[in-house]
Structure 1
Amino acid sequence: MMYYISLHNMRFHSHIGVLPEEKVVGQNIQIDLKVKVDADPTDDDLKSTVSYADFYPTIAKVIDNNQVDLVETLAQTVIAAIKNIDSRIMTVNVRIRKQGTPIDGVLDDVEIEMEH
C-alpha cells in the first residue's frame, strides 16, 4: 500500500548563502516535507509504518552539521537523509523557504522545491 506522510512549516535557523553576512547571522527557514511510503500499517503497530517522529530531528541534524551556500544543496542533503531512515520510503519531496534573503526588493521568502 502506498501512502504519504507530510510535515508542514517546520522551522529552523540556518546559515545558508553565498554572502558573508548570511553565513554569520544566518536566517530562518521553513521546511515542508512529503514522504511517499510503501508499507501496510493495517495492524495498528508503529513497526508496520515509517515513524514520522524521526523526520524533524533528522532534518535538524542535517542543518546543524552542514553549512552550505545553496538552498538546493540543503534540499538534496535533506532528501538523502530522510530516504536513509527507512527502506520503505519511496519518494521524498521537500520545499524550503528561506527568509531574509538579501535581494533588492520586497518579498517574504525564496522557496525551492525538490523531489527524489
Structure 2
Amino acid sequence: MASVHSSKKTAQREHASAPSQTTDTDVVTLKAMRFHARIGVLPHEAEIAQSIEVDASLWVRRSSGRPTANDIVDYRRVYDLVADVVTRGHTSFLEEVGERIAARALELPLVDRVRIAVRKPNVALPGPLAYAEVALERERG
C-alpha cells in the first residue's frame, strides 16, 4: 500500500511572483512490504530466511502545482531497491538493513529525507510480542 501526504512550503514573501519560487514536499510511503530474508545473529538465522516487513517514507521535493512525471518518485523503483537490499545475502542486524535502504533511497533524484522501519514479526522471546522494529530517519547531505 502506498500513500502520499503533501505539505506546501511557501516563499518568504506573502505574494510569490512565480510558481517556481515555491516547492511542494510530498511524503511517499510504502507500508508493510513483506519479504523473506536471512537476518539475525543466531546461527540458524544465517541459513533460514524469515519474514520481515519494511516501511519506507520518502520526502520528495517538486515544483508547486500539479505533479508531473519529472517530479515524482516511481513506487516500483522504491519497492525494487528495498527488495534488493533485503534479499541480498545474510545481514546480522535490522539496523544494517535500514541504513542500506536509507542510503539507496537518498540516491534517488528529488528525495531529501527518508524514514525506514524494519520489523521482524516472529521473534522468539519468552513472552508475547507483536514484532521487533528498528526505525531510522536520514537526510540528504
> Which TM-score applies when normalising by structure 1?
0.89
Q: In the alignment, which residue of structure 2 is the partner of 1:102?
A: 124
**Gapped regions of structure 2 (runs ≥ 5):** 1-23
Give the structure with higher Rg (CA).
2
SS at match of 2:96: helix
* Matched pairs, number: 115
Within the candidate set 15, 18, 25, 2:41 is matched to: 18
Question: For 1:64-98, what per-residue CA distance to the aligned partner results, in whole angstroms no more than 9, with x for missing partners?
Answer: 22421110011000101111122x10101011111
d(CA) in 1 for partners of 2:91, 2:40: 7
Runs of 4+ in structure 1 over 4 Å off: none
Q: In the alignment, which residue of structure 2 is the partner of 1:62?
A: 85
SS at match of 1:100: coil
Q: In the alignment, which residue of structure 2 is the partner of 1:91?
A: 113
Q: Is the 8 A contact 2:38 2:87 kept in 1?
A: no
- More divergent stretch after superposition (35-44 vs 74-83): 35-44
RMSD, aligned CA: 1.5
Which is bigger in relative contact order (C-alpha 8 A, separation at least 6)? 1
1:30 aligns with 2:53: yes
Q: Is the 8 A contact 1:41 1:48 kept in 2?
A: no
CA-CA distance at 1:21 after TM superposition: 1.1
Q: Is the 8 A contact 1:32 1:95 kept in 2?
A: yes
**Gapped regions of structure 1 (runs ≥ 5):** none
CA-CA distance at 1:50 after TM superposition: 1.9
CA-CA distance at 1:51 after TM superposition: 1.6
Within the candidate set 23, 40, 47, 2:63 is matched to: 40
SS at match of 1:39: strand
